[in-house]
Amino acid sequence: MPIGKPLKLRDIDEKDKKIIMLLQEDGRMQLNKISKKVGLSIDSVHKRIKEMLKKRIFETGIFIEPRALGYPLIADIKIKLKNVSKEERGKFILYLQKHKRCIELLSILGDFDFTCVLIAKDSNDLDEISTEIRQKFKDLILEWKGLLILKQYKFERYDLL
């Protein structure tokens, strides 16, 4: 990190990228291990991590495996809305953001407006969740296409080097 330049005024450098790559590998890696691998002091590594968090270059958290928690069905639902108002679209988004079985909601470009990932205990449960959402927003939803996710091979992994 160039001395005297806060992160918000500069791009991330190769040291930052190495830190990010190491944290992707093990988000609980100790600062002393990171500092040895990157070639910086522990304090420098700690400062860089704090700055990147503040800048929201990455966020901390955990990845949960829904199947291990009793939700073996994971469905990727593609949703196309009718020509709706900004307010109606906002209500739809807010509803899905708060829905306990919706674990991901993305606005997308193409044939559909959203992709929504739902988790369910079984096919009946998934049917109930889908029906509930579709009925609640029957005047907004033009098209609904569901796909079951069988396996996850890669998730939010960036190769920065």
- Model confidence pLDDT, tens digit, residues 64-92: 899 999 999 999 999 999 989 999 999 99
Low-confidence ranges of the chain (pLDDT < 50): 1-3, 7
Domains of the chain: 7-55 (1.10.10.10), 66-148 (3.30.70.920)
Please, are residues 81 and 92 in contact by the beta-carbon 8 Å criterion?
yes
Model-wide pTM > 0.95? no
